[in-house]
Amino acid sequence: MFETIQGEGSFTGQPSIFIRLQGCPVGCSWCDTKHTWEIDPEREVSAPVMLSKNAETDEWAEFSIADLLQTIAENGWQAKHIVLTGGEPCMVDLEPLCRVFEESGFSIQVETSGTFEVLVSPKCWVTVSPKVNMRGGYKVLGSAMQRANEIKHPVATEQHVDDLKALLVEHQVTDTPVYLQPISQKERATQLAIDTCIANNWRLSIQVHKYIGIE
C-alpha cells in the first residue's frame, strides 16, 4: 500500500493510493508483480510489518477496510484516488470496500485481468487488461469486458493485437477507450503499439512511472 502517481491509462498523472491485493492464478509470463501470485499462509505478517516494506516481497497481511482508511490517515496521504490492483483483485467481492471509500470521499479504480466477475460499486472505474491464453487457463469474461470503463492491453507482437481485436468483436465492445501498453518498454513493442493505435484510433499507455523512476 503506497501513495504515488498513476502511470497508466486514463488516469495517467493522477495522484493515487495503490492497494495491492495478494493472489493471482492467471499466470502472465511477462507479469512484473509475480511476488503477488501466491497466498502462502506461512508468509503472512502483521499489518505494521507489511507497511514497513519498501521492496517487492511475497509476504502479505490482512487489513480490514477500517485498517486501510486508518493507514491513509496516519501516513498523511493526500491523494483521493484509490487504485485496487494485484495480484488479481477481482478474486474477491470489492463492492463493500468501494462503497466505504466512496462514502469517505475517494474515487476508486480497479485493475483486473477480466478473468473473474467484477464485483464493485456502480461508480468504480474498471480497467480491464484482458489476459488471453495465459498459463492459468482462465478465460476473459464477457461480463468483465462489458463492465470495463477502459481496456488496457499489453502488446509485444501482432498476435497480441489480433487477440484483442477478436475479444472486442466477440463481446461487442465498441465505445470503450482502448489503450495499448508496450510490454517491457521494448522499442519494437513500442513501435507496434504506436502504429496500431494510429491505425485503429486507440490510445497509447507507456507506463510513465517506469520512465521517471517511481513506484
Residue 168 and residue 181: Cα distance in Å, rounded? 17
* b/e burial code for range 31-57 (CB count within 10 A of at least 16 → b): beeebbbeeeeeeeeebeebbeeeeee
The SS3 assignment for 60 reads strand
90 is in an annotated binding site: no
What is the Cα–Cα distance from 173 to 75, expressed in whole angstroms?
40
Those residues whose C-beta lies under 8 Å from the C-beta of residue 101, and which sit 6 or more positions away, are 65, 68, 69, 82, 108
Q: Is 131 annotated as a binding residue?
A: yes
Consult the annotation and say whether 136 binds a ligand. no
Q: Confirm whether residue 22 is marked as ligand binding.
A: no
77 assigned ligand-binding residue: no
Is 130 assigned a ligand-binding role in the annotation?
Answer: yes
The answer on whether 32 is annotated among ligand-binding residues is: yes
Q: Is 31 annotated as a binding residue?
A: yes
Confirm whether residue 6 is marked as ligand binding.
yes
Judge contact between 108 and 123, C-beta under 8 A. Answer: yes
> Within a 13 Å sphere around the CA of 138, how many CA atoms are in the beta-carbon half?
20
Beta bridge partners of 111: 127
Q: Is 197 annotated as a binding residue?
A: no
> 85 labelled as ligand-binding?
yes
d(CA 83, CA 154): 19
Of 102, 113, 103, the residue nearest 25 (C-alpha): 113
Residues of each annotated binding site for S-adenosyl-L-methionine? 30-32, 87, 129-131
What are the binding residues for Mg(2+)?
33
* Residues placed in the known binding site: 5-7, 20, 24, 28, 30-33, 85, 87, 129-131
Q: Which residues are annotated as a binding site for substrate?
A: 5-7, 20, 85
Specify binding-site residues for [4Fe-4S] cluster.
24, 28, 31
